[in-house]
Structure 1
């Protein structure tokens, strides 16, 4: 199985369980791993033969900048569903990091996997 990945997509969004947290946008970092057939894309050398990670990132930024949530778990679940449904990925791993959310930590967050990894022949 081939995996496309995005590391530390930085997005400003309103997130938090407290009202004061959602008063101004905060930075969240998104990591993605997406199952894709890299061999098919490489054979054609065409971006339309794969999942275009620029398009995925643009969609995520657009969504998160327009949304307010309380939990990183909600963000992760929504993004996993988006990547699978809107971009046709059979499997995705999403990590959502909230930097400096807890004193004494670099970041906190959640990592989820959804779907099934399928072997490409």
Structure 2
């Protein structure tokens, strides 16, 4: 098996991208929002009812997620719907779900 040495500049860039993503996911409200959005798109009023997070907090956290390119929006009348974009965030959420949310009785903590 041939081994390759990673370029330190590439490693540094990848580490920077990873820490940025982890900072975004490290907020409980944002993580709850993202977990809910894995189920499909939703508007702020739906998310507020489902998650029990107040509208000003939701708007602030959704703005962070939109600015980081993790969610996208579409407008329908007066409502704005948020959708989780495919990509690294979704992969990380699936991993976190497997580690912390599965209720498989055979898995250990």
TM-score, normalized by length of structure 2? 0.28
Which has the larger strand fraction?
Answer: 1
TM-score, normalized by length of structure 1? 0.27
Which has the larger helix fraction?
Answer: 2
Structure showing greater radius of gyration is 2
Flag the structure with more relative contact order, 1 or 2, with Cα contacts below 8 A and sequence separation at least 6.
1
